[in-house]
Structure 1
Amino acid sequence: MSELRKDSLSFVETLGQSVANVSPTLTPALAVAVVAGMAGTASWLVYIAATIALLIVGLNVGKLAKRIPAAGSFFVYVSRSLGPSYGLLSGWSMLAAYLFTAMALTIATSLFIKTLLTTLQIAAAPPSIIIYLAVSGLALWFAFRDIRLSSRVGLTLEAISVAIILIVSVSALAHVGFAPDVKQFSLEGADLGKSLQAIVFAIFSYVGFESAASLGKEARDPQRVIPKAIQWTALSAGLFFVFTTYVITQGFQDDATKLGASGAPLGDILAGQSAWIIALVYFGAAISSFACALASINAFGRTLFSLGRYQILHRSLGLAHQKHKTPHVAVTIGAVVNFVLVALLSGNSEVDTFGWYGTIASYGFIVVYFLVSIAAPVYLKKTGELTTRDTVIGAVGATLMALSLVGSLYPPPPYPYNLLPYGFLVYMLLGVAWFYVLKARAPHTLLGIENDLEEAAAAAGSPATAVAAE
């Protein structure tokens, strides 16, 4: 059976997977409108809180990544720490998280392309469904061929787009003489309850920062490189989000209602500037969101690959391409499902569907980040390495994720966001039901996970029980 290409990615290429999956440009170009519509002048503070929370989660992920390098990492991490039932739950949740992120970013790419064409006064924008097909098809081509190519393309596109946004942001500050925004620093008009709700969507700005961990068998020196890539991504993205959110909120004269209704926040604060400057910004945003969709499909594919290797899902999902050494079946399914699901709701406002898909993705990540924060100290206790510091970091990470989830439920958000948590719950219950089906029909599969038979099988050289999470 062919395997993924081992030890092939440098630190920069591994970093490229996480950075591309975060898509830093997405926040100032679009996502900030959703956060600011809830948090208003407290939006920059919401991003500080989210940065701290995810840096702590990143520490927990890093502890496991140092010890368990594997594709489909979170499924494997949680399985080895908390058992196969929680492992399956995390893997199921992560599939939704990466898929809905890809869907949200496919829609964002369409929005940015249309804004770009409108700015250039090109009226003949292609239909949304054609853009969705192009994004899904091109992402599949890159993901199918080579993870190194995907990572390099993603990091390069993100570097270009971030540089463009930073130049524009500094120019916007210069336009107001770098005068401080007193309303933001005093949190004038901010609502605490709505700000807590905004943290859930703010977390969506970072989701995927941990996806370098899905390259556990493809990165060189993964025990060192992966934790480093995760922390660098969370910190640098957080600083970028706080800065650009402050600039954009100031550009809207702290009008949260107006900013929350904007489908092109950067374009709106640049009104009156050269059309080519605005076009350059949204060109950067479009390539950034495509890079994130690609990275999400790569991460989705590796999670699905791992579930296939363990035979929790059909074993064909665990196949690697003979020539390209990529999980070609898994990434193909990811790209096809991505296109089908975004096409189904193509008649709705793209700003709305972006918010819906992004929120559902956030729930998936929050569940996994919660489980990993518990799994890290449990695993370290099993190996005899647990310290008080590890316990505290795990407890704080789990608590912050739990509070983020509670804050999204109470006070109840407006329709249809009030229904999304229950839709996600139904999805998770389907995963629980599948666990019990496996337990009844194939108990050896769960036992194999629990006892880490993938390592025993590799040592024994037995192909019949090869369940290595490569």
Structure 2
Amino acid sequence: MAAPAESTAPASRLTGTLGVGSIVFMVIAAAAPLTVIAGTIPLGVGAGNGAAFPMTFVLCAVVLLLFAVGFCAMSPHVPDAGAFFTYIRHGLGRPFGLGAAFLALATYTAVQAAVYGYIGAAIDELVASLGGPSVPWWVWTLAVVAIVGVLGYRHIELSSRVLGVLLLAEIAIVLVLDVVVFASGGGPEGLSTALFDPVQVASGEVGIAIMFAIASFIGFEATAVFRDEARDPQRTIPRATYLALVIVGVFYAISTWAIVSAWGDEAAVAESGANPATFLLTTFENWLGPAGGLIVTILLVTSLFAAILAFHNVAARYWYALGGHGAFPSAVGRTHARHGSPHVASLTQTILAAALVIVFAVAGLDPVAQVFAWMAGTATLGILLLMVLTCIAVLAFFARSRVDRRVWHTRIAPALGLVGLLVCLALTIRNFPTLIGGSTGLALGIGAVLVVVFLAGVVVAVTRKPAEPALSGDPAAPGGVPGDTPRENV
């Protein structure tokens, strides 16, 4: 028997005509390709499975594509913004859904805070290298917070255009390096073959390699967050999800292969392990000269900005979804009369981000070694927990509702994705202290915070006064499936 559905009508609807390309731009921008190339690849090669690290991106992309099959199959049956939140709510019920919503909001706020720390330090370093003044990192970061706040307040199409330009620039410079390396036949040892050797792929600290690789895909589920602003959600969302995963996975794998080949297997492992912070810059300067090094330094800053803007838009839409469903004040779930944007939700996220930056600054935290490392680690663990819950929700929803009888889409692929994600989650938990700087106590503290945030959402769902129930027996109703009975709103 199908579980009862919930009313999903928000206070007002977001508007937009985003196509597949626009949504893919925002999702890939959130993945911050150049930032991953600069930060994750040296760690994956130097501390993970060495020269075979490129194949780790492919393996993680396969796991996430299996996850995406069930995710996209369920998309037509949860036609509202909120992504993880709405999927889990429809599959596992209101308490789990609201717990996931709180966890998702905390997760995206954490990853945005991580990049805010990084970009402050990166801008200061860039300005100083060009002869400008050196100021505290948080001064630059608060300026970025203000710019992002303005863009987030306005129509989503503006953010999409900004992200598109920045994304094309950062991808272009990496592709130039890829083409030069491959056209030259690689470095002193030719093109690396380590990624094609299963023994080398499974060698070294493969758990650390998988942990860093899976973290590089954070944000791909944002395709469903923008469904209200998509031109044709039924087609746009699945296409954008698959396309984003394939593009990101292939781009990371090929670019890592090129960088490893540029050095040679042993030299790449040695250099990335000894100098992870300058590994990418040195690679570009060696192959494209000083001008290439300067360009990549500038584009690293724009890559970070693009990621922040993308994560801001995702977080704002979680605020909006929760406001529209009554979990937060109704004003958060309203849209701007002219811009059609979740302006109150966006302002709320901007204020929260500014407050976090001020707290980090007053506490004297290092923007990269502490703010970025701690918050990025928190986001990685949170996203994996959310994806595991979403996989379970997809399986439960289709087993109960039977609105889609395709075995591969509703059972086999989601089950395989769940197994793969559980493996990734176990490896991440095992290596979590490494991801956040080596402190077991801090790792336990962060894990406890995530659990408390999730439980807080569950408690709110259980204890709050139920909203007006919705009659959703009509499968055409938002969130309705055949056989549904009335149920209170979130």
TM interval, short-chain normalised: 0.7 to 0.9
Displacement, 1:229?
0.5
- d(CA) in 2 for partners of 1:457, 1:405: 32
The reply to whether residue 337 of structure 1 matches residue 337 of structure 2 is no
5 Å-filtered alignment, 1:54-69, equals: 54-69=64-79
Which of 253, 270, 289 is equivalent to 2:304?
Answer: 289
Whether the aligned pair in 1 keeps the contact of 2:391 and 2:417 (CA below 8 Å) is yes
Shift of 1:269: 1.6
Corresponding residue number in structure 1 for 2:7: none
Aligned to 2:447: 424
Task: Give distance in 1, aligned partners of 2:194 and 2:239.
Answer: 36
Q: CA deviation at 1:326?
A: 1.2
198-207 vs 267-276, greater mean Cα deviation: 267-276
Quote the offset at 1:417 in angstroms: 5.3
Q: Residue 267 of structure 1 aligns to which amino acid in structure 2?
A: L
Map 1:216-255 onto structure 2 (within 5 A). 216-251=227-262, 253=264, 254=266, 255=268
383-392 or 19-28, which deviates more: 383-392
Task: State whether residues 309 and 317 of structure 1, in contact with CA within 8 Å, keep that contact through their aligned partners in structure 2.
Answer: yes
Alpha-carbon distance between aligned partners in 2 of 1:454 and 1:309, rounded to the nearest angstrom: 21
Answer whether contact 1:116 1:283 (CA < 8 A) is retained: yes
Amino acid across the alignment from 1:410: R
| 2:483 paired residue number | none
Instruction: Please point out which of 85, 88, 94 is paired with 1:84.
Output: 94
**CA distance, structure 2, for counterparts of residue 225 and residue 276 of structure 1:** 39
- Secondary structure at the aligned position of 1:270 is classed as helix
Taking the TM superposition and a 5 Å limit, the aligned residue runs for 1:248-327 are: 248-251=259-262, 253=264, 254=266, 255-256=268-269, 258-260=271-273, 261-272=275-286, 274-327=289-342
Q: Is residue 110–residue 376 contact of structure 2 (8 Å, CA) maintained in 1?
A: yes
2:115 paired residue among 79, 85, 105? 105
1:429–1:412 distance in 2 versus 1, CA, 3 Å: closer
Amino acid of the structure 1 residue aligned with 2:300: A
The 3-state SS of whatever aligns with 2:216 is helix
* Length, aligned pairs only: 460
Q: CA deviation at 1:170?
A: 2.7
Q: Cα gap change, 1:189/1:450 in structure 2, threshold over 3 Å: closer, same or farther?
A: farther
- Within the candidate set 154, 171, 183, 2:163 is matched to 154
**Is the 2:208–2:428 Cα contact (8 Å) retained in structure 1?**
yes
C-alpha spacing 1:222/1:121, structure 2 compared with 1 (3 Å) = same
1:209 equivalent in structure 2: 220
- Amino acid in structure 2 at the alignment position of 1:354: F
Deviation at 1:421, TM superposition (A): 5.4
What SS does the aligned partner of 2:79 have? coil
Instruction: Check if 1:405 corresponds to 2:414.
Output: no
Q: Does the 8 A contact of 2:192 with 2:260 survive in 1?
A: no
1:351 paired residue among 365, 368, 372:
368
Q: Deviation at 1:456?
A: 6.7
Could you tell me how far apart the structure 2 residues matched to 1:193 and 1:422 are?
28
Q: Residue 432 of structure 1: CA displacement?
A: 1.1
Contact 1:25 1:158 survives alignment (8 Å): no
Per mean C-alpha deviation after superposition, the further-off stretch among 336-345 and 182-191 is: 182-191
Q: Indicate conservation of the 8 Å contact 1:65/1:216, yes or no.
A: no
Q: How far 1:293 sits from its partner (Å)?
A: 0.7
CA, structure 1 residues 249+103, in 2 after alignment: closer, same or farther (shift >3 Å)?
Answer: farther
Structural mapping, 1:385-396, within 5 Å:
385-389=404-408, 390-396=410-416
Measured in 1, the distance between the counterparts of 2:195 and 2:134 equals: 37
Please give the secondary structure, in 2, of the residue aligned with 1:330: helix
Q: 1:433 aligns with which of 456, 467, 470?
A: 456
- How far apart are the structure 2 equivalents of 1:449 and 1:36? 53
Alignment of 1:2-41 (within 5 A): 3-39=12-48, 40-41=50-51
Report the counterpart of residue 94 of structure 1 in structure 2: 104
Contact 2:51 2:192 in 1 (8 A): no
Instruction: Indicate yes or no: 2:395 matched with 1:372.
Output: no
Cα pair distance change 1:124/1:249, threshold 3 Å: farther
Which of the numbers 193, 205, 221 marks the counterpart of 1:194?
205
Q: Is the 8 A contact 1:377 1:386 kept in 2?
A: no
Inter-partner Cα distance in structure 2 for 1:333 and 1:432: 22
The TM-score with structure 1 as length reference comes to 0.88
Distance in 1 (CA, whole Å) between partners of 2:147 and 2:422 is 37
Consecutive unaligned residues in structure 2, runs of 5 or more:
1-9, 481-485
Counterpart AA for 1:130: V
1:128 paired to 2:134: no
Q: 1:329 to 1:411 in 2, by over 3 A?
A: closer
2-side partners of 1:406 and 1:449: how far apart? 39
Distance in 2, matches of 1:195 and 1:7, equals 42
Distance 1:300 1:391, change over 3 A: same
Write out per-residue CA displacement over residues 169-212 of structure 1, whole angstroms, 9 at most, x where no aligned residue.
33244362781225565589887573213322322211111202
1:225 CA drift (Å): 0.3
Superposition deviation, residue 251 in structure 1: 4.2
Amino acid at match of 1:54: L
Q: Is the 8 A contact 1:79 1:450 kept in 2?
A: no
CA distance in 1, matches of 2:13, 2:153: 12
Conserved in 2, the CA contact under 8 Å of 1:41 and 1:188? no
Q: Deviations over 1:235-257 (max 9, x none)?
A: 11111111222233344554546
Q: 1:432 and 1:202, CA in 2 relative to 1: closer, same or farther beyond 3 A?
A: same
Change (3 A) 1:213 1:420: same
